[in-house]
């Protein structure tokens, strides 16, 4: 059995996966460079809805699999962020505001008619992973959020610069998500560092984060392929 990595090396092996983060996907690069058409932006928003609406379920699965009250206590706050106290508040509500701001009807987002098979497979796989794997691997998969705040800030700046047809009210989701992602990812990293005690657990955490990078990348592959022909 290998010795566990020291904290610095373990942290670095997680952070090294930044190069596989979806910020580097050709679709996101096009989106941020202002080269996406309005239908392509709408396709991205309608498909991301499917990912967004699975977040609370995967977080509930992680909490359900976790025997530690101190972890469950902090983890279930993430459900509150997305679901909000009512249908008129919270992350899912803000995502629907974004959908309207880019010109989608709420009904066509909610009935998921635009959700592509590849996006469905990827988001379903993420939920399935969090249900089946040890809780700490589900937690480690959420570490993509270490890489998301700068990417989301760039997105907001790019949208303001290149897509003046998007109503500014639509940016509320990201305005709230950026500070939340910073706080959540600091907390997530601490949980992973504290609870991956063996080298096997550390390696499984790195694999979980790599898997999550693949989930996000696969979603964009599907959107990028379809987006070229979507009207």
97: CB partners within 8 A, 6+ apart: 169, 170, 172, 173
How near is the Cβ of 219 to ligand PQQ at its closest, in Å?
A: 10
How near is the Cβ of 84 to ligand PQQ at its closest, in Å?
A: 13
| Backbone φ, ψ for residue 104 (5° rounding) | -90, 150
Considering the complex, state which of residue 152 and residue 223 has its C-beta at the smaller distance from ligand PQQ.
152
DSSP character at residue 143: G
Considering the complex, state which of residue 59 and residue 202 has its C-beta at the smaller distance from ligand PQQ.
59
Residues that bind ligand PQQ (CB under 6 A): 55, 142, 144-145, 148, 151-152, 177
Considering the complex, state which of residue 142 and residue 206 has its C-beta at the smaller distance from ligand PQQ.
142
Considering the complex, state which of residue 55 and residue 101 has its C-beta at the smaller distance from ligand PQQ.
55
How near is the Cβ of 142 to ligand PQQ at its closest, in Å?
A: 4
Token look-up 């010109």 returns: 103
How near is the Cβ of 177 to ligand PQQ at its closest, in Å?
A: 5
| Backbone φ, ψ for residue 59 (5° rounding) | -70, -35
Token look-up 């760039």 returns: 154
8 A C-beta contact, residue 141 and residue 75: no
Considering the complex, state which of residue 156 and residue 169 has its C-beta at the smaller distance from ligand PQQ.
156
How near is the Cβ of 13 to ligand PQQ at its closest, in Å?
A: 18
What is d(CA 118, CA 220) in angstroms, rounded to the nearest whole number?
Answer: 9
Considering the complex, state which of residue 145 and residue 221 has its C-beta at the smaller distance from ligand PQQ.
145
**Residue with the shortest CB distance to ligand PQQ:** 144
What is d(CA 188, CA 82) in angstroms, rounded to the nearest whole number?
Answer: 17
Helix, strand, coil share of the chain (percent; to 5): 80, 0, 20
How near is the Cβ of 3 to ligand PQQ at its closest, in Å?
A: 30
């Amino acid at each position: 059995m290998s010795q566990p990595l020291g904290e610095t090396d373990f942290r670095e092996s997680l952070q090294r996966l930044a190069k596989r983060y979806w910020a580097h996907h050709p679709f996101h690069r096009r989106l941020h460079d202002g080269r996406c058409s309005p239908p392509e932006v709408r396709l991205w928003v309608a498909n991301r809805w499917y990912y967004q609406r699975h977040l609370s379920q995967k977080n509930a699965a992680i909490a359900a699999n976790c025997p530690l009250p101190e972890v469950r206590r902090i983890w279930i706050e993430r459900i509150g962020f997305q679901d909000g106290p009512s249908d008129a508040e919270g992350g899912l509500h803000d995502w629907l505001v974004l959908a309207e701001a880019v010109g989608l009807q709420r009904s066509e987002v909610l009935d998921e008619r635009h959700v592509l098979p590849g996006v469905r497979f990827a988001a379903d796989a993420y939920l399935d992973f969090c249900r089946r794997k040890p809780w700490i691997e589900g937690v480690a998969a959420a570490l993509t959020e270490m890489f998301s705040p700068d990417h989301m800030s760039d997105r907001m700046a790019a949208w303001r610069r290149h897509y003046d047809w998007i109503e500014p009210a639509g940016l509320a989701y990201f305005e709230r998500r950026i500070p939340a992602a910073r706080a959540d990812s600091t907390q997530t990293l601490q949980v992973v560092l504290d609870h991956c005690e063996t080298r096997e657990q550390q390696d499984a955490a790195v694999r979980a984060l790599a898997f999550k990078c693949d989930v996000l990348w696969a979603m964009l592959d599907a959107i990028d392929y379809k987006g070229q022909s979507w009207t």
